[in-house]
């Protein structure tokens, strides 16, 4: 038993690294390949790099939410084990934060759009689609806060950490709105396909988690209901047995009189 546990622990980093690298490669390929095929850089490398980093960050946010939901489901536990899922979820969240940082860095270095530092970090200051751009800034701050919360779980307690972790859905929702209404690629077929498939994946995973949780509650409640029913049946059977005995005892007493 100890040998098997030790082997599982030894394989765990390799499994996590393989899954994380595959997701990162898929996210990068989904963005870079269409950009290389359809875009002409025209000396505006930082502008296209910023857009690509933003889309990669969005795909990583999608993967982070999906793996986060999977950590609390039986399907995810069967697929990759809960410990591995938690490590993958944390690693993807870190890569998402790094991709957001790259998105902001390339925008700060870009002279084509000409964003100032304040416009990149302070909501509702920018001249470019202020509402939708500001939603992206807020999503970036929330993403950083959610990632930091991984290391505050023992200090704040599991319930508070879990409640705070639900902000991941806000990060995903705000990121989706930011990409659709502030992104310059939102009108292309490939970007709409990415946004649509990402929303569909998160929605499907969330519905699965809700239905499986309800099924688990129903299963756990069924034995207790059966126990109550069997207790009532035993009470009725005891009463049925006791009734003739009480009648017989009464007759004996009367005969004795």
Q: What is the mean pLDDT of residues 222-233?
A: 54
Q: What's the whole-number mean pLDDT along residues 52-67?
A: 91
Please name the residue that has the structure tokens 């939708």.
132
Reported residue count of the chain is: 257
Q: What is the pLDDT of residue 41?
A: 55
- Take residue 96 and report the two structure tokens written for it: 């998402």
Confidence (pTM) = 0.74
More confidently predicted of 82 and 126: 126
In the chain, the N- to C-terminal Cα span, in Å, equals: 75
DSSP characters over the chain = -HHHHHHHHHHHHHHHHHHHHHHHHHHHHHHHHHHHHH---TT-HHHHHHHHHHHHHHHHHHHHHHHHHHTTSHHHHHHH-HHHHHHHHHHHHHHHHHHHHHHHHHHHH-TTT---HHHHHSTT--SSSHHHHHHHHHHHHHHHHHHHHGGGHHHH-HHHHHHHHTHHHHHHHHHHHHHHHH-TTTTSHHHHHHHHHHHHHHHHHHHHHHHHHHHHHHHHHHHHHHHHHHHHHHHHHHHHHHHHHHHHHHHHHHHH-
Confidence band of 253 (pLDDT split at 50, 70, 90): very low
Q: What is the pLDDT of residue 200?
A: 95
Which two structure tokens, joined as six digits, stand for 8? Answer: 């599982």
pLDDT tens per residue across span 8-50: 444 555 555 556 666 666 666 555 555 544 455 566 788 888 8
Once rounded to an integer, what is the mean pLDDT over residues 137-146? 96
Residue 103: what pLDDT?
94
Average pLDDT along the chain: 78
pLDDT, tens digit (0-9, with 9 covering 90-100), for 177-190 = 999 999 988 889 98
Q: What percent of the chain has pLDDT over 70?
A: 65
pLDDT at 3 over 70: no
pLDDT given at position 195: 95
Q: Which residue has the higher pLDDT, 77 or 65?
A: 65
């Amino acid at each position: 038993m100890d040998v098997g546990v030790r082997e599982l622990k030894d394989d765990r980093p390799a499994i996590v690294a393989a899954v994380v690298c595959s997701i990162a490669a898929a996210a990068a390929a989904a963005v870079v390949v269409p950009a290389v095929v359809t875009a002409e850089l025209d000396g505006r490398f930082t502008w296209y790099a910023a857009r690509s980093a933003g889309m990669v960050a969005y795909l990583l946010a999608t993967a982070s939410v999906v793996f986060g939901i999977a950590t609390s489901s039986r399907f995810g536990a069967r697929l990759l084990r809960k410990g591995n899922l938690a490590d993958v979820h944390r690693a993807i969240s870190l890569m998402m934060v790094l991709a957001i940082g790259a998105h902001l860095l390339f925008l700060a270095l870009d002279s084509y759009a000409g964003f100032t530092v304040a416009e990149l970090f302070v909501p509702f200051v920018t001249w470019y689609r202020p509402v939708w751009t500001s939603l992206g800034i807020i999503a970036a701050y929330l993403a950083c806060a959610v990632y930091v919360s991984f290391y505050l779980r023992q200090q704040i307690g599991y319930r508070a950490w879990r409640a705070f972790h639900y902000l991941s859905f806000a990060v995903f929702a705000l990121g989706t709105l930011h990409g659709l209404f502030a992104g310059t690629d939102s009108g292309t077929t490939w970007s709409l396909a990415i946004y649509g498939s990402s929303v569909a994946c998160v929605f499907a995973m969330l519905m699965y988690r809700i239905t499986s949780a309800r099924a688990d509650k129903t299963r756990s409640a069924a034995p207790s209901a059966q126990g109550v029913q069997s207790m009532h049946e035993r009470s009725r059977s005891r009463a049925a047995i006791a009734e003739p005995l009480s009648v017989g005892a009464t007759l004996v007493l009367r005969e004795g009189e």
